[in-house]
Amino acid sequence: MTSGNDIKFDFYETLSSAEEHVLRLKHKIKSSSNFQIICRGYYRDENKNPLDLLKFLNANELSHVPVVVFTKDKNGLISHLEKQAPSMDIRDWDHRLFITSSSQELITKVKEKKHH
């Protein structure tokens, strides 16, 4: 992304470190309509996925934050989330997660949110 887009990225290797970052910025995030999260489809070392992130956002009153999921296997991830979501009591995951395996689609989605 070029600097003219005025988009700032904070990268975290693990879901838990990203969650800590979100908690540090919680009040700022609550008052911002531009904040969004980009995550992976699966965090192998932590055995976590985007449903764990949604559960975290719900618990911290941040369910309004859009989540973009970047994965190599979009259909496989959707199938897994469909099976796992009911046991985690997350029924709106398919409306809250934008799942893509296309880097171009990811960039378009991030820019689109920035301009709204």
- Hey, where are the domains in the chain? 13-114
Compute how many other C-beta atoms are within 10 angstroms of the C-beta atom of residue 25: 12
Cα separation, 79 vs 69, in Å, equals 14
Per-residue pLDDT of the chain (116 residues; tens, 9 = 90+): 344 556 788 889 999 999 999 999 999 998 887 889 999 999 999 999 999 999 999 999 999 999 999 999 999 999 999 999 999 999 999 999 999 999 999 999 888 866 65
- pLDDT value of residue 1: 39
- pLDDT value of residue 8: 80
Helix segments in the chain, DSSP class H: 15-24, 26-30, 50-59, 74-84, 93-96, 103-114
Residue 62 — φ and ψ, nearest 5°? -125, 30
Closest CA to 68 of 110, 26, 30: 110
